[in-house]
Structure formats: structure tokens, C-alpha cells
Structure 1
């Protein structure tokens, strides 16, 4: 099950597949890969069921980021309306080959359908008070879109609202749920709260040619939102699953579990 939350994005999504910072290469779905995805979704469902929570942050290893000492590349928010209801994954995906994004609702099996590097997953469960606020947020479509930036950038700077990537949207929704009520309603307010709360993005060292190549040849990669002092030194700060894991691991009440194939 996959539906788009933003009606205006349906046309774009229909002509190009949606990805989370992946290439646009078309790959034929095989019975084997479909089976792996469904098995991974089932393992994830069993883990989520066992948490006793109806909402969690989940992540997958969509691509190999080991050269940056990172494992999980893409995060979403898993939610079920009631214990007898199916889990759904709320996530931001890039309209392949473009600089646009849309918010999607997926089933757990769909979360692993785009040929991931592995079928491992990470589950991060919030404490009850934050879980309650996340539940309210995920039920509020207008609120989710207030925290959504349509212009996609795989390496979006965490403290700018010029662009947004998949993990950044999840983190800003978490900021809304974690802040005192009424403090965070916009992306600017979410980013300010994250700074105050001590969130530290992942810093990647990226050479000049890589930066220029990304800007010239990929619609979904840009560096012009990064502060010049960092950009010209090749220090690219981004929201990664690892940085979210480190941040949430320091906050009271969060529990984390890996789901291995």
C-alpha cells in the first residue's frame, strides 16, 4: 500500500518513481526481491508489535554509506491508529530525477521495495508523552505539510529551510513532538529548537570536484544552502540516521533496537 499525501504531487509521482536519495535506475522487480522485502516488512512488524507502542521512528539501509562510517540511510515514522490496525510508514521521498519531494504513506513491505543495500532495519521508540504528540502529528495532514519543504536536496543543510531531505523532515516532525506544546509549528521553529536541544548533524568531508559535479549533474543535490565557511572547506553537514540516533539516545526514555535479516 502506497499513497501520496500531497495531491499536487500525484502527477509528478506518476511519471517518475519516488526514492529517498537514490539513483533513478529502473530495476526489474523479481519474485526473490519481493520476497525479501515482504519478509523484512514482517520482521519489522513483529518488532514494532513487541514494543507496545503505536508509533516509532524506523530506518533502513537503502545504500552503502560505509565510506562515511554510516549504516542506515533513510528514516520514516511508523504509526498504527490502533493495536488491531496495520502499521503505516510516513516518509518524505524524492520524485526521481527532479528537485521535488512529496510525503508518502507506505506499508512496511513497501519500505524495503527499492532494492536496499541490506534488509536490516532500526527501530527507535519514543517515551509515552512524545509518542502521544507524534500520534497527533501524524493524524494532522496540514501540520505535516507545514513541516514539509517541497524543494528536495539530498545533502540539505540541517539549519536552513531552503531545501529538505527525507531524514530532515522526520527530525523536524520529532522536534515538533518533543518541544513544549505550541513552541514548534514551522520549520524555522523546529530547527531553532533542535539547536537549543543540542542536535549535532553529521559532518561529511566532500571534495571540490564532488561538490561541483553534484551541483552540475544532479537535480537533487545542491550545496548553496550550506554556510560558506563550511562549504568552501568541504565540510558538509547533513541530517543522517546516525545523527538522529545519537541525539535521541541522549534524551530520556527512547529505546532502540536493530532488526537483522
Structure 2
């Protein structure tokens, strides 16, 4: 479908729709500026994906301002070209309205960028052929849901058995897809998350260290609605340095196994 016709259909479908925006799940009408900015970013991202002509990519967005933690992108998922739900469907974990539970979603690209963005910026990274094929096999094998833990914590510790966040889920999905290269990691087929983390460790994945002050942790704020610090060791809680999976740690780890990446910035920030 030509881009103009696709855009007109998209506007007609969504101009009067309500949305659940951000982690607080605030229901509101989508304003024309928000729709315009999200639509333009969607068109630009899809144009990049079409030009690359690859089966999948990792797409990241700026849904929260995490600059105080040294982070640019707050969320990432897999975007798949040939998906039953439609061309360029995003597969990702989302938590339910700031609560302590989550689900796995297959969504159109526009939905991803309508989620109350702080800045209309995106990042695309295309894995190399070997990793792309491994990820496609993992998707066909229902790995996204088998790796999912619905107990959500935005500050989930890397390797936690009790909680998971969206970036940890994505890292584990990528790790699980690599596990065939490490036979020793597949000794517990009934425990896919352990298989995934074994492969991540073998591949040299390193989580980020995020500094959260005691005052910030006690008073809440950014992490108050859906954060659990109890699965972090005492030394982390005393020092305020928490090991978590971030978009940055995933992208840094994957760059040697990728063929290209793009940063996409639209000149429209939320006021």
C-alpha cells in the first residue's frame, strides 16, 4: 500500500480513538499533534525497514526520560516483517498500567509510538544472518511466551527467577535463540529462562549498573508503581547500584553481531 494511502487509513481509524498512555495507563483522547508525530515516526521507521529488506530488527523507543540514569532508550522489542498479525509487527513485553504484572503483545508500529512518548526518537538494529535466522526459529517455537514471567518489576535484577522486565525478556529471547550453539546450556529443556541466561553468559552479555539513591527508592517517583528491590542482593540495596538489563546493554552487546543500525529523530517533542 502506498505510504499516503496507508497514512490516510491510519488517521481515519485512530483520530477518535482513546489510548492507554504510559505506565500509569491514563485513558485520554489522542490529540492531533501526538497522532501526527507518532504517525510520522512510524512512516519513517517503516521506510527504513523496507529499504533494509531484512526479516526482522530490534526497535527501541524513548517512552520515558531515563537520562538521569545514563540511558537514552527506555524500551525495545522485535519488529518482524512477515508476521500473521501484519507486516512489521512489534513483539514485546508490556506491563499492565504500571502494575506488577505484564504480558507479551504483538502490535502494529503506530501503537508503539503512540504510548505517550517523551521524545519521538527510535533506533533500529539489524542482526546478522545467523542471529536473524535463530530469532525467527525462536519466534516460531513460541519462545516469547515460554520465556515470559508475568511478575513484573521495572528494576528486575538480571538473572532473577522471581521477576522480569521488558528488556530482560528481550535479552532472554535473544539468548534463547543462541542456545543451540551451546549444548551445555540445554540440559534443562523445561526451564527455558535458565537456558537463555546460560547462553547470554556464554556470549558475554553484561547488564548495566543503574544508580538509584536511597531517597529515590524510598520516596518512589519513577519506580514507585511497579518496582521490587527485594530480589537484588543486600550489597546492591546498601550501595544503590543495581544490575539490570537496559536497552543500552542489549545494543552494546549485539553490535558485533549486527549488520547495520539507524537512529531516527523527529523534530517534535512532547511539551
Common fold by TM > 0.5: yes
> Corresponding residue for 2:87?
86
1:74 maps onto 2:75 in alignment: yes
1:187 maps onto 2:193 in alignment: yes
C-alpha distance in 2 between matches for 1:18 and 1:166: 17
> Corresponding residue for 2:165?
165
Q: RMSD of aligned C-alpha atoms?
A: 2.2
1:138 deviates by 2.0
1:112 deviates by 0.3
**TM-score using structure 2 length:** 0.81
Higher Cα Rg: structure 1 or 2? 2
Residue of structure 2 aligned with 1:208, choices 205, 214, 217: 214
C-alpha distance in 2 between matches for 1:151 and 1:18: 21
Farther off after superposition, 67-76 or 202-211 = 202-211
Alignment length (residue pairs): 239
Whichever structure has more strand as a proportion of its residues is: 2
1:247 maps onto 2:225 in alignment: no
**Structure 1 unpaired stretches of 5+:** 1-15
**TM-score using structure 1 length:** 0.84
1:99 deviates by 0.7
C-alpha distance in 2 between matches for 1:150 and 1:117: 26
1:219 deviates by 4.3
Residue of structure 2 aligned with 1:257, choices 252, 256, 262: 262
The answer (yes or no) to whether the contact 2:61–2:113 under 8 Å persists in 1 is: yes
> Corresponding residue for 2:240?
234
C-alpha distance in 2 between matches for 1:97 and 1:174: 25
C-alpha distance in 2 between matches for 1:188 and 1:97: 27
C-alpha distance in 1 between matches for 2:21 and 2:239: 32
C-alpha distance in 1 between matches for 2:141 and 2:108: 19
CA offset digits 1:184-215 (Å, max 9, x no partner) = 55112212222232211111111123223349
> Corresponding residue for 1:122?
123
The answer (yes or no) to whether the contact 2:156–2:244 under 8 Å persists in 1 is: yes
1:237 deviates by 1.5
The answer (yes or no) to whether the contact 2:62–2:74 under 8 Å persists in 1 is: yes
The answer (yes or no) to whether the contact 1:18–1:95 under 8 Å persists in 2 is: no
1:254 deviates by 4.1
> Corresponding residue for 2:146?
146
- The 5 A counterparts of 1:42-57 are 42-57=43-58
C-alpha distance in 2 between matches for 1:244 and 1:153: 18
Secondary structure, aligned partner of 2:257: coil
C-alpha distance in 1 between matches for 2:173 and 2:70: 26
**Structure 2 unpaired stretches of 5+:** 1-18, 267-271
